[in-house]
Structure 1
Amino acid sequence: MNTRILGIDPGLRVTGFGVIERIGTQLRYVASGCIRSPQDGSLPERLRVLLEGVQQVVDTYSPQEAAVEIVFVNVNPQSTLLLGQARGAAICGLVSRALPVSEYTALQVKQAVVGYGKANKEQVQHMVRRLLDLPGDPQADAADALACAICHANASSLKAAHGELADLRRRRGGRMMR
């Protein structure tokens, strides 16, 4: 079964998006890019641009699932609040189009893509390029969004496999046969 997944890397100035398709165990690149809000606009205007931009991406690429990176507290509380509002606008854009949304920490995303939870942006870009067989490294925000989608594809594959194993155990009376 093919599943199209949209990854979102939220940001108030730049929100990255990445769309991949999971075909069995294979991942295929579909699209990626950035939604840019006007730096000189008011906060409500910038959030509207992000909300509508996410809705447009969903309408254009028709994903079945979405994954969004979880925001953690930064040194600057004001920046954290603004980033949280941008993340909220992105999530609202997804749920307004009836998409199921999963959330992952940056540590989880980097672990899934690079194998190291403290990987730098260049390492993430490089591994996204390799995993999706791209001709070059994607832009940093788009790479982070693609990495989030890859993380979700891997997590949902594991979850499905775990569910199949649990079903097999139930059919065998709660134990596995060797």
Structure 2
Amino acid sequence: MRILGIDPGTAIVGYSILDFKENKYNLIKYGCIYTSKDLPMEDRLLQIFNELEEIINEYSPKFMAVEELFFFKNNKTVISVGQARGVIILAGKKNGLQIENYTPLQVKMGITGYGKADKKQVQLMVQKILKLDEIPKPDDAADAIAVAITHINSLTNTLYSSKPVTTIKVEKEIKTNRMTAKEFRELLMNK
């Protein structure tokens, strides 16, 4: 299955193309669509739509996973990002993609197993899950990869491993009902 992951924005839209086959992730491409702040908003939205449609046509994903908006202190920012997100969803729908939305909390949980993980922790797990030599850059593209991985995990019920969740062995005893994100990752990675 091929997923298009999206981290929406107005100035920068992060995207990723990720394949999942035989319990293996394969990162095909990632990057960003950049728009100039000097352009009128309608031109920026058109640019996002056109470039995203080119990516869809080139890579033929079946699914589009889009990060939902979180609370912004600046109302102008939330409106413009909301407009960009609408254009992104329109491009996916127009091209017949199955669209799913994930909150930042769902992405953090889906990648690290911890809802309060910071951006660096999410990026390190993306690197580890995909067995990359370095963390993908820029941050917007890394976030788009995390959204795509979260979608794959939600469809396949696999977490950070090629093993189905039901076969992960717990090798050390859990002594409390709380554990750190590091302990959780180690548990899942069978370290």
Q: Give the shorter-chain TM-score range.
A: 0.7 to 0.9
- Structure 2 unaligned blocks of 5 or more: 159-163, 165-191
Partner residue of 2:69? Answer: 71
Rounded Cα–Cα distance in structure 1 between residues aligned with 2:38 and 2:133: 35
Paired residue type of 2:153: N
Partner residue of 1:31? Answer: 29
Rounded Cα–Cα distance in structure 1 between residues aligned with 2:33 and 2:116: 26
- Partner of 2:39: helix, strand, or coil? coil
Q: CA deviation at 1:121?
A: 1.7
Task: Map 1:68-107; keep pairs closer than 5 Å.
Answer: 68-107=66-105
Q: CA deviation at 1:6?
A: 0.7
Rounded Cα–Cα distance in structure 1 between residues aligned with 2:39 and 2:93: 25
Rounded Cα–Cα distance in structure 2 between residues aligned with 1:10 and 1:30: 19
Query: Is 2:140 the counterpart of 1:141?
Result: yes
Q: CA deviation at 1:67?
A: 0.3
Normalising by structure 2, we get a TM-score of 0.79
Rounded Cα–Cα distance in structure 1 between residues aligned with 2:76 and 2:101: 22
Partner residue of 1:120? Answer: 118
Q: CA deviation at 1:5?
A: 0.6
Partner residue of 1:165? Answer: none
Rounded Cα–Cα distance in structure 2 between residues aligned with 1:119 and 1:15: 22
Rounded Cα–Cα distance in structure 2 between residues aligned with 1:129 and 1:158: 20
Number of residue pairs matched? 158
Q: CA deviation at 1:115?
A: 1.5
- Partner of 1:95: helix, strand, or coil? helix
Rounded Cα–Cα distance in structure 2 between residues aligned with 1:114 and 1:46: 33
Rounded Cα–Cα distance in structure 2 between residues aligned with 1:61 and 1:114: 28
Query: Is 2:157 the counterpart of 1:155?
Result: no
After TM superposition, which residue ranges in structure 1, 4 or more long, deviate above 2 angstroms? none
Percent pairwise identity: 38
Paired residue type of 1:130: K
Cα RMSD for the two superposed structures: 1.5
32-41 or 21-30, larger mean C-alpha shift = 21-30
Q: CA deviation at 1:72?
A: 2.3
Q: CA deviation at 1:73?
A: 2.6
- Structure 1 unaligned blocks of 5 or more: 162-178
Rounded Cα–Cα distance in structure 1 between residues aligned with 2:130 and 2:18: 9
Rounded Cα–Cα distance in structure 2 between residues aligned with 1:102 and 1:24: 22
Rounded Cα–Cα distance in structure 1 between residues aligned with 2:128 and 2:29: 15
Normalising by structure 1, we get a TM-score of 0.85
Partner residue of 2:185? Answer: none
